[in-house]
Amino acid sequence: MSPRPSARTAPAAEFPQDNDPLRDPSLYLNRELSQLDFNFRVLERAQDASMPLLERLRYLCISCTNLDEFFEIRAATVRHSLDFGMPPAADGIPHPTLLKRIHERAAELVDAQYRCWNDVLRPALSDAGVRVLHRQHWTARQTRWLRAYFRDEILPVLSPLGLDPAHPFPKILNKSLNIVVVLKGKDAFGRAGHLAVVRAPRSLPRIIQLPEKISGGENDFVFLSAVLSAFVDELFPGMEVKGAYQFRVTRNSELIVDEEEVENLALALRDELVGRGYLRAMRLEIAADCPKPIVHTLLQNFDLPENAVYRINGPVNLNRAAQIYDMVPRPDLKFPAYQPRQLKDVDTIFEHAAAGDILMHHPFDAFTPVLELIKQAAEDPNVLAIKQTLYRAGKDSPIVEHLIDAARNGKDVTVVIELRARFDEEANLRLADRLQDAGVQVVYGVVGYKTHAKMLLIVRREGRKLVRYTHLGTGNYHAGTSRAYTDFGLITADPDIGSDVHQIFQQISGLAPAIKLKRILQSPFTLHAGVLKRIERETKLAQSGRPGRIIAKMNALNEPQVIRALYRASQAGVDIDLIVRGACTLRPGMPGVSERIRVRSIVGRFLEHSRVWWFGNDGEPELYCSSADWLERNLLRRVEVGFPIVAPDLAARVKEESLDNYLLDNLNAWELQADGTYRHLHPVGDALPHSAQAMLLARICG
C-alpha cells in the first residue's frame, strides 16, 4: 500500500492518553450521517417558496446528485471498512450498524425529494408555464410526436437483451438508465419471453423538449424514461409487454491504485478507469410499482441487501431535471443576474501586485485577474518560469491555453496535475497529455498524497533581480466554479511567500527534503500541527484569564485531534464559532465540554467553499486562508497549504466578509445542536433579516 502519514508519524501538538475522557465516542457525531443531513438542508432550499422557482428545481437536483456521490464514495467507504475489518471512526458506530442507519436516513431523504418534486415543484413549474408532462397526461398529438421521435431518434441506438440461459444478466453501468421488461409470448426463434433489459445509452438526451407547435407550450418536456416505458413494446414485435420498470444502480466509484507497485501512475489509472463503472453496487433505485419478484432478482444480481432498494415514485434519475434550468429562458424564475467586480488596471497585473497584495473574493470579485496573470506571464519576455498546480481545471480552460502559449514562447512551464482528482481523472489524463505535447513539464504529484493545494508561481526578471509573483487560493483554477463557489484568492509579490511556494514546488517535483517554511503552513508536515498549536495558544490565553477567540470557516470537520483541542479550548473558556458547510463530527453545546462552541452551516445561492481560520492571539490576530478542510485526509494525507493574509487591511476584509458577516446570517444559516440535528435560523424579535451572500452581492457587485 502507499505510505500514509498517521497520528503517530505526522507532527502533532498533543499526545493524549488512552483514558482521555474527550475520546468518549458519545462526544462525536458520525461523518456519513452528518453528510446526509447536509442534503436535507439543500433540499429545504428547494422547498422555500421565497426562492425563484427554477432555482428551487436546481437545489432539488443538487440534493439528488449529492446523494449519488454519497453512495459512490462515503457509503462505499463504509462498506470497504466493513469488508476489511477496519475499526470504526471516533463516534464508535460499528460499520454494520452505520450502513443500516445510512440506508434508513437516505430513504427518508429520497422520500422527501420525490414529495418535493411530485407535490410541490412539478405543479408549481406547470403553473408557471414550464411543464414536465406525465405520460398519463400526454395528448394524442403529443403521443404521436413522441412515438415518431422514439422511432427516429431512440430505437435505432437501443439493444434490448432478453434474459435466458444464453443471455445472462448484462453488465449495468453505474447510474445508467435502464428498463426491465416483463414479456409474454414467443419471439422469432420460438423462445418463450420472460424478462428483458433495455439499457439507455449515454448518448441519448435524458430530457426531451417538445416543439411548441406540437405541444402547445413553449417549455414542455418529458423524461427519456417515460418515453422508453411508453414505447418499449416496439422493441419486441409479436410479444406482449406485461410491464416495464425503470431502474438505476449506483456503484462504488473509488479508484484504488497501489502507487508504490506501479511504474506509471497514468497508465495504471487508465486501466482502473475502464472498469470504474462496474464496481460493487451500493444502491438500487427502481420504479415503485415493480413487482417484488423482479426486485428480488435485481437485488440478487447486484448482491445487495433488501434495505438497499429504493422504490421511486417518479424518474429514477431525477437529477437530470437540472437540464431544464438551462433549457428554459426565464430570468424571472432565476436569481437576478449580477456582474462581479473587475479589478482596475488588470492589464498591468505585475505592476499592480508589486505595489501591494491583491485579494479576490469570488464570485463577487471577478476571476479575471488570475486569468490575466497567467496570460500576461505567457506573453511577457521578462517572465522566465511558471509553476502551477491543477486539480480541476474544467473543460476548454483558458488557463490551459495560456500555459501552452507560455511553453511555446520559451518559458519554463511546470504543471502539477493531480490525476486522482475524483471524477476528473479522465479529464486530467487528457490534460496531462495535451500539456506534455506542447512542451510543458508535467508532474503527477507525490505518491500517496493527493496534491490539493492551489498554487501558482511566476518568476520574472526585473532589472538585476528575479521577483516571484504568487497566486494562492482556496478554490480550483476553474473559471466556471469561480462563478458558483465562494473562494478567496491572493496575488502577492511577498518574497517570503514566494520562497515558500518555490520550496513546495521543489518538494513536489524534485524530491526535495522538507524545509521549514517562513509563512505558509503545509500538509502533511506543518499544517496539522500548526492548527493544533494555534488552538492551544488560545486555550492558554483563556486559562491565564485573557480572552481566547477562534472563528473558523470550512467545508467539513472530522479530525479527532483538532476536535479534542477545540473541546479543551472550550473548557478553558475560549469562545469558538465554526462555520462548517457540510459534515461536522464535533458536538457543540455539551455542558462541561463544548458549551462555548457554536457551529452553523450556510446554504445559499453560491456553494460555500472558502476555508478561513482566525485566531485572536491576544490582540494580534492571525488569519489564514487554505485549500484544506479540518479533515483527516486534508491535514494528514494530502499536499495542502494554509497561507496567511499579511496585509492588515486585507486580513480585516477577509474576517469581516467571510466570518463576521456569516455569523450574522439569519436567513440561510442552520445551527447544529448537541444531538446532531440542525435548526434553521430566522430573524428573532427586532432583528433585521440578513443574508451574508446577498450583502456581499449588494456591496461588491452593486
Distances (CA, A) of 403 to 103, 169, 442, 445, 510: 46, 48, 11, 18, 20
User: Cα separation of 691 and 669, whole Å?
Assistant: 9
Kindly report the three-state secondary structure assignment for every residue of 240-255. EEEEEEEEEEEECCCC
Give the CB-side neighbour count of residue 117, counting CA atoms within 13 A: 27
Cβ within 8 Å of residue 676, ≥6 positions away: 29, 33, 34, 37, 587
Cβ within 8 Å of residue 296, ≥6 positions away: none
User: Cα separation of 500 and 520, whole Å?
Assistant: 7
**Which amino acid makes up residue 100?**
K
Largest CA distance in the chain: 89
Assess whether 471 carries a catalytic annotation: no
The three-state secondary structure class of 381 is coil
Cβ within 8 Å of residue 613, ≥6 positions away: 531, 534, 550, 551, 552, 553, 554, 623, 624, 625, 626, 642
Please report the beta strands in 224-348, taking only residues with DSSP state E, as ranges in sequence order.
Answer: 240-251, 281-287, 309-312
Grid cell digits, residue 23: 475520546
**H or E stretch including 376?**
helix 368-379
Query: Phi and psi of 219, rounded to 5°?
Result: -130, 75
Shortest CA distance to 445 belongs to which of 574, 259, 616? 259
CA 265 to chain centre: 24
User: Cα separation of 516 and 371, whole Å?
Assistant: 31
Options 452, 471, 478, 690, the catalytic residue: 452
Distances (CA, A) of 382 to 385, 401, 410: 9, 19, 11
Q: Which string of b and e fits 648-684 if b means at least 16 CB within 10 Å?
A: eebbebbbebbbebbbebbbbbbebebebebeebeee
- Asked if residue 524 has a cis previous peptide bond (ω within 30° of 0), the answer is yes
Q: How many CB atoms lie within 10 A of CB 398?
A: 15
- Which residues are marked as active site? 452
